[in-house]
């Protein structure tokens, strides 16, 4: 069974870019456009990893992460922060990786493979 990654970002171009990178490397994906939608998606699907933008319309990444961290079922899911904001490494201290937009696709795949292994 392939590893599943949830992509949380409000920019459809970035979402498509990340999904293409992950699916080209045989990972399954599902998406959410903000923290509210992401939390709802967790009710039906449990990802092996989450890529998380910090600045989104409805609920920002750090708000979503704080809610996620309070849930025993989800708090151990590894998070990769992908953001254009400065100081992004300060927002979610337990993140397994941080990528600044724009980023090299190989950097994302390296973090994914080191964290959850091959698909």
Question: What is the per-residue pLDDT across 78-91, written as a single tens digit (0 to 9) for each?
Answer: 999 998 876 655 57
Mean pLDDT of 47-60: 90
Pick from 69, 7, 70, 79: nearest CA to 37 = 7
Rounded to two decimals, the pTM is: 0.93
- Please state, in angstroms and rounded to a whole number, the distance separating the CA atoms of residues 69 and 75: 4
The torsion angles phi and psi of 89, rounded to 5 degrees, stand at: -70, -20
Provide the percentage of residues in the chain whose pLDDT is more than 90.
76
CB 31 within 8 A of CB 19: yes
CA 114 → CA 10, 13, 82, distances in Å? 26, 26, 17
Domains and CATH numbers, the chain: 4-112 (3.40.50.2300)
Q: For residue 56, what pLDDT is reported?
A: 83
pLDDT for the residue 89 = 56
Q: Kindly report, residue by residue over 8-34, the tens digit of the pLDDT.
A: 999 999 999 999 999 999 999 999 999
């Amino acid at each position: 069974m392939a590893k599943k990654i949830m992509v949380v970002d409000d920019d459809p171009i970035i979402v498509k870019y990340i999904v293409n990178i992950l699916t080209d490397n045989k990972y399954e994906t599902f998406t959410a456009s903000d923290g509210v939608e992401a939390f709802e998606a967790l009710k039906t699907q449990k990802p092996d990893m989450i890529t998380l933008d910090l600045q989104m319309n409805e609920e920002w990444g750090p708000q979503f992460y704080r809610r996620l961290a309070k849930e025993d079922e989800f708090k151990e899911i590894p998070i990769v922060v992908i953001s254009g904001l400065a100081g992004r490494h300060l927002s979610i201290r337990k993140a397994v990786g941080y990528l600044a937009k724009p980023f090299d696709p190989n950097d994302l795949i390296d973090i994914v493979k080191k964290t959850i292994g091959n698909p």
